[in-house]
Structure 1
């Protein structure tokens, strides 16, 4: 299976200029200005007029569904393959949320493996919102070390009424266990942190890194664009050496209540001098977007969309003052680096052949290649999920 992309403007995400990209099976073999191959086994893709960028890495997707805050009928549906591929997403990381009873870790692992068999790369976290953590083996370290798809734990909830209200000591122990599991397995061992809208914000994370030997880089807090105050707390977390993630799925009510659109939040952070390597966006796809009243009662519910990640990236890329390579990094190389997915998020020889071709003017998706397979062509689906109509 040999594919040759001809004449694309390549962003790796570092801009490389007009180049050809040679793919053999699931890897990039070569990127250079002129590659010539002959033979019927070579599929040639015309990349002229397009930018070629790495496939998007979505670090938080509820691939088996989420929700349930309003009762059983409010459990959200699982993600389908083309929800990712049509949005240029070639790598997803699945997680459990509030519900770790009817949504289970075995199901999460099975769904991740199913998505892999259908053509994209899929990983997952052990645990959920609550501590003590739900695990497969009885140990966070063992889950990360022994289960191939598991790369960390999350999303552990802080500053949220739905969380288990963990102490710094409890959270430090979780981080230490995940760190050791990551070290022994060569994985990230990251602790994905769901940050709620309570006033304590990221205080607990600062307490952990100030009183233990756990570095800030072990934590990966998300939903940092809930409001300007939390965004400024995120800036301080980056100054302490950490990473922050903005959520792209939103609704009008969230925005009216002070949430900052993800692209706008990233642009603000870049303007403050935060490096793009510390900034990411994720979709929170297929999660519930619950609206609560002052007493914590559910009054509204929508569903997160994986597509929102590409839409937010497109907005960011067109934002004045934001370099295109920085915008690309935020959804490719930055999350891949945080998660220590070494062959993801970049275009280079030896890396996984996850490539998105976008029209150079509109930045609309034209083609998507995942692990060397042509999944989307001319914005039309070539490969569907097993049970997609």
Structure 2
């Protein structure tokens, strides 16, 4: 079956004006001026966008799809992600990760959850590893995981500057990065090291240490939670200006926002004002992660849960703050796809995957297609997860 979207205000992410978009078998076949595509002799679903914005599906580089957390005991283990938590927010690609808990949460379960969401229509990938060093893997080796398991595209979410991390040294991190880099080269994947940055001593210093003392470039590392504090944000700006890429967390903890944490929108505005290129900024939801609050002695005092939908919320908020639509798309879709090596994601052009979001007048997803399959129509889910209750 062909699908034709007529009269869409197309952002590829660049604004190109009103266009018709034709797709089938999961991929985009043609983009043309309104009325110039004829499919009268073929079975085709047609939708008139009436000038509404059509954008690439959002790409979320950090979601705890199998759940996470547990810093407050077994009863605080967060729930796994359900399909519509992503699709209703216009998120069509997610990368799953483990975090603090790599005992009751394991890579086998993470991979199984990624396969399940893929069967339900979403595009999914995972990182091998967790906060811990030595890195836990599926095959016993980072490079083997990346070469032999299609869904493994990097290492993460390895923790630095955090009392929950393994306090690894620069040489140890360099070895992790080297294995990820070689695995990426041999398998044709991004091979990034996705780095959880806590509020501890040093911040991003260890990443700079590795880059300055080895042949591993800054671009091998993909640090997140850079809006955790003003001090870390300033380090992140310097890191990005030196050639690295920084990721801001869209999910916000009300308790930490009242202390040191900076909202993702304010962090983006600050980084752009400091001269960081749009291409060096991404956003992730940290969906289904625990968002713990600790006191000065490291004792848990509060806990909230990350939401995949926060990525779309920040997308709208950026535009509301005067950020251009194409820049907002780049930071929530295109840049992450590029950094992670997902060549068919994050853009709308012939040959790319038909991951598309048609926005309503409030910039909320009205229709969502994942690899050409209609997942959301008129703001309502057409496809639910296998065990989701309607």
Q: Same fold (TM over 0.5)?
A: yes
Aligned pairs (5 A) from 1:29-68 = 29-34=29-34, 35-39=37-41, 41-68=43-70
Per the alignment, in what secondary structure is the counterpart of residue 168 of structure 2? coil
Q: 1:96 corresponds to which residue?
A: 98
Aligned pairs (5 A) from 1:19-168 = 19-34=19-34, 35-39=37-41, 41-168=43-170
- Alpha-carbon contact 1:317-1:328 (below 8 Å) kept: no
Aligned pairs (5 A) from 1:129-278 = 129-278=131-280
Report the CA distance between 1:49 and its aligned residue.
Answer: 3.2
Per the alignment, in what secondary structure is the counterpart of residue 89 of structure 2? coil
Q: 2:387 corresponds to which residue?
A: 387
Q: 1:370 corresponds to which residue?
A: 370
Cα distance in 1 for partners of 2:27, 2:57 equals 13
Q: 1:325 corresponds to which residue?
A: 326
* Gap regions ≥5 residues in structure 1: none
Report the CA distance between 1:274 and its aligned residue.
Answer: 1.2
Aligned pairs (5 A) from 1:325-344 = 325-344=326-345
Cα distance in 2 for partners of 1:372, 1:243 equals 30
Q: 2:14 corresponds to which residue?
A: 14
- Alpha-carbon contact 1:9-1:18 (below 8 Å) kept: yes
- Alpha-carbon contact 1:222-1:244 (below 8 Å) kept: yes
The TM-score, its normalising length taken from structure 1, stands at 0.98
Cα distance in 2 for partners of 1:76, 1:39 equals 51
Report the CA distance between 1:46 and its aligned residue.
Answer: 1.6
Report the CA distance between 1:40 and its aligned residue.
Answer: 6.2
- Alpha-carbon contact 2:107-2:128 (below 8 Å) kept: yes
- Alpha-carbon contact 2:241-2:275 (below 8 Å) kept: no
- Alpha-carbon contact 2:59-2:346 (below 8 Å) kept: yes
The TM-score, its normalising length taken from structure 2, stands at 0.98
Per the alignment, in what secondary structure is the counterpart of residue 135 of structure 2? coil
Report the CA distance between 1:14 and its aligned residue.
Answer: 0.9
Q: 2:303 corresponds to which residue?
A: 301
Q: 2:313 corresponds to which residue?
A: 311
Report the CA distance between 1:153 and its aligned residue.
Answer: 0.4
Cα distance in 2 for partners of 1:252, 1:67 equals 17
Q: 2:354 corresponds to which residue?
A: 353
* Gap regions ≥5 residues in structure 2: none
Cα distance in 2 for partners of 1:39, 1:68 equals 57
Cα distance in 2 for partners of 1:69, 1:332 equals 30
Per the alignment, in what secondary structure is the counterpart of residue 332 of structure 1? helix
Query: 1:365-386, CA deviations, whole angstroms, 9 ceiling, x for partnerless residues?
Result: 2110100000001101101111
Aligned pair count reads 387
Large movers: runs of 4+ above 4 Å: none
Cα distance in 2 for partners of 1:165, 1:185 equals 29
- Alpha-carbon contact 1:129-1:156 (below 8 Å) kept: yes
Per the alignment, in what secondary structure is the counterpart of residue 337 of structure 2? helix
Per the alignment, in what secondary structure is the counterpart of residue 123 of structure 1? strand
Cα distance in 2 for partners of 1:304, 1:46 equals 35
Per the alignment, in what secondary structure is the counterpart of residue 283 of structure 2? strand
Report the CA distance between 1:285 and its aligned residue.
Answer: 0.2
Cα distance in 1 for partners of 2:42, 2:28 equals 19
Report the CA distance between 1:39 and its aligned residue.
Answer: 4.4
- Alpha-carbon contact 1:223-1:247 (below 8 Å) kept: yes
Cα distance in 2 for partners of 1:56, 1:273 equals 24
Cα distance in 1 for partners of 2:83, 2:43 equals 27
Report the CA distance between 1:179 and its aligned residue.
Answer: 0.3
